[in-house]
Amino acid sequence: MLEISGLDVHYDGVHALRGLSLTVGQGEIVALLGNNGAGKTTTMSATSGLVRPSGGKVLFEGEDITGLAAHKITSRGLVHCPEGRRIFSTLSVHDNLLLGGYLVRDQAEIKRRIDHVYGLLPRLAERRAQQGGTLSGGEQQMLAIGRAMVTGPRLLLLDEPSMGLAPLVVAQVMELIADINASGTAVLLVEQNASAALKIAHRGYVLENGVGTLSGTGEELRSDPRVVEAYLGGS
């Protein structure tokens, strides 16, 4: 579904990505691992049109989307759920979800998608009239993912969905991602919690200083001594 080849991104003279190449296939969860500053979020932003690459190509379902405006990329079914949740805190849960359908003209389809999200996340259904800013951190993350799902992704970019969450909630978020994937949505997952990400990922890549250094199946990376030492706490 997604093919990134030779991607370069510069920020204010800093070479943030250096010839990065990766793929995400139909039905896959692909994890992108690396320390802070490795280029993970830049990869997501360049893929979704928030940042313009200085070199390389991004192909989505065979179409060159390199440098295309973000809303045009979203309308094609490549949807970015950014780091930090970024929900509308003064709007209700339901209104946040409605905004996920901003580009969708069919009101019946928006309702169907929101009902699907409520089915996946009954806690959001219970709180549909509650202001987003009054939810717990885990609930806000669920809302951010749910809003992205209303957009109708065929490929979902998830940036640090477990950030700041308790271990039990992290497990719930990872279960949700696996459920979304099982329903037919491919996922590119940027995640600081490498152990949690690799448990659900079919494949993964490791980024260091803007360069892809390792790749393999989730199981291969979980057992790779370099990954264990750097990202899995040496255990």
Tell me the pLDDT tens digit for each residue of 77-116. 999 998 877 899 999 999 999 999 998 899 999 999 999 9
Give pLDDT, residue 80.
96
Q: Which two tokens stand for residue 196?
A: 């949690």
Q: What is the CA angle 96-101-163, rounded to 5?
A: 50
pLDDT at 234: 53
Answer whether 0.75 is exceeded by the pTM. Answer: yes
What is the H or E stretch that residue 102 is in? none
Look up residue 49 and give its amino acid: G
- 235 pLDDT more than 50: no
Segment 55-62 mean pLDDT = 97
Chain-wide mean pLDDT for the chain?
Answer: 94
Contacts of 178 (CB under 8 A, 6+ apart): 29, 200
Question: Mean pLDDT over residues 113-123, rounded?
Answer: 94
> Tokens 């509650």 map to which residue?
130
Q: Which two tokens stand for residue 117?
A: 């999200």
What confidence tier does 123 reach under pLDDT thresholds 50, 70, 90?
very high
- Look at the domain 2-85+138-231 and name its fold: Rossmann fold (3.40.50)
Q: How far apart are CA 208 and CA 212, in angstroms?
A: 6
**Per-residue pLDDT tens for 218-230?**
999 999 999 999 8
**Domain ranges across the chain:** 2-85+138-231
In tens, the pLDDT along 5-24 reads 999 999 888 899 999 999 99
Residues 54-71 have a mean pLDDT of 96
